[in-house]
Amino acid sequence: MTTITRRSALSLLATAPMALRAMAGTHEAPVSRILLGTYTDPVGTTPGAKGIYTCSWNPTTGQLGPIELAIETPDPSFLAISPKAPGMLFAVNELPGDHNGTVTAFAYKSGQPLRTLNVVSSEGLAPCDLTLDHTGRTLFVADYTSGCLATFKVTRAGLSKAVSVLRFPGHSIDPDRQTSAHTHCTLLSPDNRFLLVNDLGLDRIMVFHVNPVAATLTPTAIPYNATPGSGPRHSIFHPNGRWVYSVNEISSTVDLLDWASSDGTLTRRQTISSLPPNTPKQKNAPAELATDRAGKFLYVSNRFHDSIGVFAIDHKTGALTHRQDIDCGGKTPRHFVIDPTGRWLIVANQDSRNIVVFQRDTVTGELSATGNSSLLDAPVCILFV
Which residues are within 8 A (CB) of 22 and not within 5 positions of it... i.e. 6 or more apart? 343, 362
pTM of the full predicted structure? 0.92
pLDDT tens figures, 245-257: 999 999 999 999 9
d(CA 92, CA 126): 9
pLDDT of residue 1: 42
d(CA 239, CA 328): 25
pLDDT of residue 111: 85
What CATH class does 79-335 carry? mainly beta
Classify residue 84 by burial, with Cβ atoms within 10 Å: 0-12, 13-18, 19+. middle
pLDDT of residue 22: 35
**Ranges in the chain, pLDDT < 70:** 1-31, 45
pLDDT of residue 20: 32
pLDDT of residue 304: 97
pLDDT of residue 19: 35
